[in-house]
Structures are given as C-alpha cells and as structure tokens.
Amino acid sequence: MSLIPHHIAIIMDGNNRWAKRRNLPGVAGHRAGVEAIRNVLRACNKNQVKVLTLFAFSSENWGRPRNEVRSLLALFSRYLRNETRELHADGIRIRFIGERDKFSARLRRLMHDAETLTANNTDTTLVIAADYGGQGDITQSARELARQVAEGQIAWQDVTVERLDAGTSLASLPDPDLCIRTGGDHRISNFMLWQFAYTELYFSDILWPDFGEPELERAIADFAGRERRFGLREGEGKAAGKGKGGDRNA
C-alpha cells in the first residue's frame, strides 16, 4: 500500500544558519527560504498532498531582535504581493492561522485579500501560521467554551474533545498526518500541539533553504513505511484512521 500524507505541516528551521555559513546577513537566509516554499509546494502538488501548513512566524518570534522581526514581516508582505496571484492561478487556496492584531494594517489587508481571492480554489490548501502558538490556540478555544458555560449556553458536562477541537484554528481541516522539522533540532516548538496528537514526526538535518523535492519525497517515503496504529494493536492501525486526520488511503 502506498501511503501519501493528506496534510503535511512543516517547521521551517535553519534560515539564519544557512546565511551564516555563507557569510550573508540573516535576511538572505529568509529570502532563500521563500524559494524553498515554492519548491516544496510544487512537490506537494506532484505527490497529491492536499494540505500544506507552514510555521512562518511564531508568537514567540516577536522576542527576536527588532531588525530581524521587521525584515521577516517585510518579507512576508513581499511574498503575499508577489506570490498570491500565481498561487491562485495554480488553484491553491491560501489560509492563515494565528493572531493578526500585531500586524500592520497593510499586512492584514494583504492576508485578507489573499484569502478572499483564493477562497474557492480546491487543488491544494496552503496554510500559513503567522503569530501562531499551539498553547494559545488551545487557550482560545477553552476560553470560548468557558464563556459559554458561564453564560449558561452549555453545561460543563458538554465540554468535550469535539467541542474544544471545533474552536481551534484548523477545525475545518484534517489534522496533519506528517510534521517535518528541518534544521536538525528535534522539537515541535509550540506548533499545533492539539492537532499533533497522532501526527508522525520527521526530523531532517537539512537547513530549510536547501530543503526541496528530493528531501520531501524522502520524508513521504519514510511516512509510507510506518504503521499508524492510533492506539490500536499492531496490524490494525492502517485500517482505522483517527479523528479528523485519519488515513485517506486506508
């Protein structure tokens, strides 16, 4: 059985180290990382991956040096200006998860326009996590449920996994089947903590700007060789699926 992940999430790590090794400023690494996004999107389309979620800017990244943050946000704006129409032409739907209040009005408008333009596309969904944190995502949903209980809209017994899931930022999409982290570190850094309950993890030593189609296909091949048991006995997992994510090839 050939198993292709329906949804891949990527923690794009290693841009600064890539630049440093070449005696370039950090922003050069981030620019090179944009090219890697193009290559990986093409590879996802080729391999029939339907959802790609990229960890572009975490809620903790605001603590980086001011100049680096400014450069990252400028690059984010440039990416949306330059890439949105091409992504739309390729049938890609763009979605954003995370907070937007700290972004400039201009960047918020670019995000809104990208989502609006591509809303009806069905080939691939590109989810960009910006000012996003997994703990904050869960907290937001829990806070809404607490409000509903306090106002008598639901009883506390009605607070279920399904209700909490429905309030998270990716509620309308399948949970990731595979998470890839580039750059050699082995952690998930507050990314999609709720959604990663049964996600397969793959760690690559390749720095993100050098991560392309061959590396993605190696990760997919590794995924295909695993048995996803979802808490069941050996031999039963592939036929089961789990939650929203499940296994579309089962």
Question: So which residues are the catalytic ones?
Answer: 13, 61
Q: Which residues contact 16 (CB under 8 A, 6 or more apart)?
A: 26, 29, 30
Q: Are 148 and 117 in contact (CB under 8 A)?
A: no
Stated as kind and residue range, the H or E segment containing 43 is: helix 26-46
Cα end-to-end span (Å), the chain: 9
Residue 104 has what DSSP assignment? -
Residue 129 β-bridge partners: 55, 97
Distance CA 191, CA 58 (A): 8
Give me the residue label for tokens 């972004």: 103
Q: Are 165 and 194 in contact (CB under 8 A)?
A: yes
Q: Which residues contact 139 (CB under 8 A, 6 or more apart)?
A: none
Question: Which long-range contacts (C-beta less than 8 Å, at least 24 apart) are formed by 222-225?
Answer: 223/3, 223/5, 223/177, 223/178, 224/2, 224/3, 224/4
